[in-house]
Chains A and B, each alone.
Chain A
């Protein structure tokens, strides 16, 4: 495996439209190392989500090479891509995407069931993840009984429970107020520091940007800048 957990080389993603191809991403070259806390920043339509999807092996580039955990995503079949996501990548979505019929505990437990983990190990991991996000007392609640901030914390616990190498968070604070956003970001920052998990965010929220160690700015599908912030 290379030093990078994800590396993108000359990545382009085009969508066919009535007026020819529309490029969501153009010639992107990026590498992501372990323990990074990266924000993909840019206005709407700049290609942030597309980039996350390619890193998360949910989508394939039209051109270029995407390597995740040393694996060329274009060479993975659907089952292998699912296994890659299941083992190494956690996802956090803007709209939480929790299973409404499951309790908080069951939602967090779900990825571990896909990993075929033993029940006692599973329980330990779920309780630990709920403790990280401060929701141990809500484990029997259903998502509908929680606030937006609490739902997003459940989503973080679900992404973190399998201790993935990489967590991809697509606009995780877009639906939250300032207080909840800060709480969520602090939680993720702690997990990044304590567990060494890499986080890649897509965002255009200034509150989020302040927390990032590295900021990759996208404009019109191209990398406009790639900077590390001092003092974060």
Chain B
């Protein structure tokens, strides 16, 4: 670093310290904005991570092979949304490293009310996903054990032991019915596996559908099984599977960032105002610096550096000021009010414990430093138009 650059930093530093309360207020405002941003990012970062972890544990595992005829966005495709399991996949299914799951649209009648649902058949013996499928064992002659989630139980007013009818189409497009009994109400953090879903044993569903050896999806225990993808099943990689979640978190985060954007705007306004006022009040100093031989560029850099230093001081202040808040949410988490699970994404079933991404935090600080530099530079540009003689006269 050149000596004049060191000199500028030193002078900028002294000017900030010398400004006393005005500097302190600016630094505190910027520190509060930074704390707020890091907190909010911690929340979204942790939520996204938790949601992904939960979806992997409950739904995705190491990957999914999905029947090409099944389009999750087109409910009309669901009736025929399945394909024959390839022969080479059988040994993995038998070994338990691949789980076939069959979906079927259905109408259920809990307590005599009619309600749309999706009946999903899963092997009771599977051990890859956290769905408590062992509860699907022990079928009596006409009563098929079913598992539903808490949200589904709330919506249907069903309790363990209750029976209800499900009407669905078989492969001949003829309606058939199953008499289901709630064997278990699971506490599933992934709403898409809970809301509107009834889980039964795969064999029972295949039997009523008259569709042996077919599946809508196959959940993989290891990523290597992606090679089983063929003309009937396509491999859904993580990027594709989590794209909706990523997009949703991004959208919600952007919405939630509005108040913080306002805070950033106000903080930057404070910096802009301070700098504009400083340039107005310190004209004689600008003239004197010019007379001493500083170029206008160097003087502009001096004023810009002062703005950037405010932000760097704020970053230093944010560490001790924000630590109690950051630690509280790291240790105790954020308990979300009831109703948040209606967001339709995973991650809302328990207090959300915050984790803070160091690269993300550094990027936030860097972003604010750059923003502060720009905001400080904007009024400082006027120095270039200032005549040294007029500046010396304080005009």
Interface set of A (CB-CB < 8 Å, partner B): 50, 53, 56, 58-59, 78-79, 82-83, 85-87, 91, 93, 95, 97, 99-102, 110-111, 113-116, 158
What's the Cα separation between A59 and B388 when bound, in Å?
A: 8
Contact residue among A58, A82, A113 (Cβ-Cβ distance under 8 Å from B7): A113
**Chain B neighbourhood of A53, CB < 8 A:** 388-389
Q: Are A56 and B14 in contact (CB under 8 A)?
A: no
Closest to B394 in A: A95
- Residue picked from A85, A102, A113, A116, most chain B C-beta under 10 Å: A113
Closest to A168 in B: B291
**Chain B neighbourhood of A58, CB < 8 A:** 290-291, 388-389, 392
**Chain A neighbourhood of B2, CB < 8 A:** 116
**Chain B neighbourhood of A116, CB < 8 A:** 2-4
In the complex, number of A-B residue pairs with CB atoms less than 8 Å apart? 72
Q: Known contacts A97-B285, A100-B18, A101-B17: does B291 contact A56 (CB below 8 Å)? A: yes
What's the Cα separation between A100 and B18 when bound, in Å?
A: 8
Task: Map CB proximity to A onto B271-293 as digits: 1 under 8 Å, 0 otherwise.
Answer: 00000000000001101101111
What's the Cα separation between A59 and B386 when bound, in Å?
A: 12
Q: Are B296 and A114 in contact (CB under 8 A)?
A: no
What's the Cα separation between A114 and B2 when bound, in Å?
A: 10
**Main secondary structure on chain B at its contact with chain A?**
helix
What's the Cα separation between A85 and B389 when bound, in Å?
A: 14
Known: A86-B293, A111-B293, A158-B292. 10 other contacts (CB 8 A): A56-B291, A59-B389, A79-B297, A82-B295, A82-B296, A91-B292, A97-B291, A99-B14, A111-B292, A114-B7
What's the Cα separation between A53 and B388 when bound, in Å?
A: 9
Interface set of B (CB-CB < 8 Å, partner A): 2-4, 6-7, 11, 14-15, 17-18, 284-285, 287-288, 290-297, 387-389, 392
Q: Are B387 and A59 in contact (CB under 8 A)?
A: yes
Closest-CB distance, B279 to chain A (whole angstroms): 16
Q: Are A99 and B11 in contact (CB under 8 A)?
A: yes
Closest to B284 in A: A97
Q: Are B293 and A113 in contact (CB under 8 A)?
A: no
What's the Cα separation between A110 and B298 when bound, in Å?
A: 13
Closest to A94 in B: B392
**Chain B neighbourhood of A102, CB < 8 A:** 11, 14
Closest-CB distance, A220 to chain B (whole angstroms): 20
- Residue picked from B2, B17, B296, B389, most chain A C-beta under 10 Å: B389
Contact residue among B18, B284, B285, B294 (Cβ-Cβ distance under 8 Å from A114): B294
Q: Are A83 and B17 in contact (CB under 8 A)?
A: no
What's the Cα separation between A83 and B296 when bound, in Å?
A: 12
What's the Cα separation between A114 and B17 when bound, in Å?
A: 22
What's the Cα separation between A125 and B284 when bound, in Å?
A: 26
What's the Cα separation between A19 and B216 when bound, in Å?
A: 90
Contact residue among B7, B11, B296 (Cβ-Cβ distance under 8 Å from A78): B296
**Chain A neighbourhood of B18, CB < 8 A:** 100-101
Contact residue among B4, B285, B388, B392 (Cβ-Cβ distance under 8 Å from A113): B4
Q: Known contacts A58-B389, A101-B14: does B295 contact A79 (CB below 8 Å)? A: yes
What's the Cα separation between A113 and B10 when bound, in Å?
A: 11
Closest-CB distance, B66 to chain A (whole angstroms): 66
Closest to B14 in A: A101
Q: Known contacts A59-B387, A113-B3: does B293 contact A97 (CB below 8 Å)? A: no
Contact residue among A59, A95, A99, A114 (Cβ-Cβ distance under 8 Å from B293): A114
- Residue picked from A53, A99, A101, A110, most chain B C-beta under 10 Å: A101
**Chain A neighbourhood of B291, CB < 8 A:** 56, 58, 85, 91, 93, 97
Q: Are B288 and A85 in contact (CB under 8 A)?
A: no
Closest-CB distance, B106 to chain A (whole angstroms): 77
Pick 27 A–B contacts, CB within 8 A, sort by A: A50-B389, A53-B388, A56-B291, A59-B387, A59-B389, A78-B295, A78-B296, A79-B295, A79-B297, A82-B290, A82-B295, A82-B296, A83-B293, A85-B290, A85-B292, A91-B292, A97-B284, A97-B287, A99-B14, A100-B18, A101-B14, A101-B17, A102-B11, A110-B7, A113-B6, A114-B292, A114-B294
